[in-house]
Amino acid sequence: MAVGVLALQGSFNEHIAALRRLGVKGVEIRKPEQLQGVSSLIIPGGESTTMAKLAEFHNLFPALREFVKMGKPVWGTCAGLIFLADKVTGQKAGGQDLIGGLDCTVHRNFFGSQIQSFEADLSVPVLASKEGGPDTFHGVFIRAPAVLEVGPEVEVLADYPVPSDKLMDQAQEENKGSEKKVIVAVRQGNLLGTAFHPELTVDSRWHTYFLKMASEIEGGASNSIVAVEGGDLTFDQQPKNDLPIFQ
Ligand SMILES: NC(=O)CC[C@H](N)C(=O)O
């Protein structure tokens, strides 16, 4: 079955393009019943409060929570990571609905406002050992969240040593004199979360990691992921020419 991409708001087109570069069909999901036609799901970045309102409007939360509970593979990027977290800090007044499932606390705008967005090379040993390529991944952080705490079942896949000028006032206060390392990529069973935007870079390794994770979880069941053209390409062989994205 194809990979669903929650298409309410945010960078769903970019995820679909990233999947297409790997020969995988991404299906836009806007209604609860459409989740029945996909075996895994990507929740893109965007603005989580707005996305939550739209998800509420389309009555998507019960079906999304069920999808996660059934153990189906779900990857949340940025706002998507916020959606998957069990606990979120820094929410707008009144809070927002979450899907939950990922045993962690996420700060919604950890790095500050939109103008504090940045790019940074992240150390990604687990990704490099599984997908090949360099030990670093170029992370695009757009008004990004960060994971502050994780439960025992959560595997940390990448963290980021935050320069003190990137800490928000409150965090600066809390971490005076010490370098704060925050977690920016995690996995817990069927759930993957990244605080940055892999769909905006030419490096496809987070997408191939997720596709392989999904086909492992599905136990090699007959699905398009394992058979896709390009699915077995190594990092150096992956096509790098379809650009809505940063080099
Ligand atoms: N690029 C992003 O997805 C930003 C997410 C944003 N911090 C939020 O609250 O939703």
DSSP secondary structure letters along 14-66: HHHHHHHHTT--EEEE-SGGGGGGEEEEEE--S-HHHHHHHHHHTT-HHHHHH
Please identify, by atom number, the ligand 1 atom nearest to the C-alpha of residue 142: 1
pLDDT of 183: 97
pLDDT of 19: 96
pLDDT of 240: 55
Burial class (CB in 10 A: 0-12, 13-18, 19+), 40: buried
Q: Are 67 and 100 in contact (CB under 8 A)?
A: no
User: Is the C-beta atom of 143 inside 6 A of ligand 1?
Assistant: yes
pLDDT of 222: 43
pLDDT of 167: 64
User: Is the C-beta atom of 47 inside 6 A of ligand 1?
Assistant: yes
User: Is the C-beta atom of 106 inside 6 A of ligand 1?
Assistant: no
User: Is the C-beta atom of 43 inside 6 A of ligand 1?
Assistant: no
pLDDT of 235: 63
The CA-atom distances, in angstroms, between 160 and each of 116, 218, 227 are 15, 31, 35
Q: Is 78 a catalytic residue?
A: yes
Structure ipTM over 0.90, yes or no: yes
pLDDT of 227: 42
Task: Single out the catalytic residue among 14, 15, 104, 197.
Answer: 197
Looking at ligand 1, which residue's alpha carbon is closest to its atom 6? 47
Q: Is 47 a catalytic residue?
A: no
Residues 6 or more apart in contact with residue 180 via CB below 8 angstroms? 161, 162, 164, 167, 171
Q: Please identify every stretch of the chain with a pLDDT value under 70, giving residue numbers as ranges.
A: 166-179, 220-247
Other beta carbons within 10 angstroms of residue 208's beta carbon come to 25
pLDDT of 91: 83
Q: What is the pTM of this model?
A: 0.88
Pocket test for ligand 1, best of 119, 143, 196 (most atoms within 8 A of CB): 143
User: Is the C-beta atom of 4 inside 6 A of ligand 1?
Assistant: no
Interval between CA 6 and ligand 1 midpoint (Å)? 15
The separation between CA 10 and the C-alpha centre of its own chain, rounded to angstroms, equals: 12
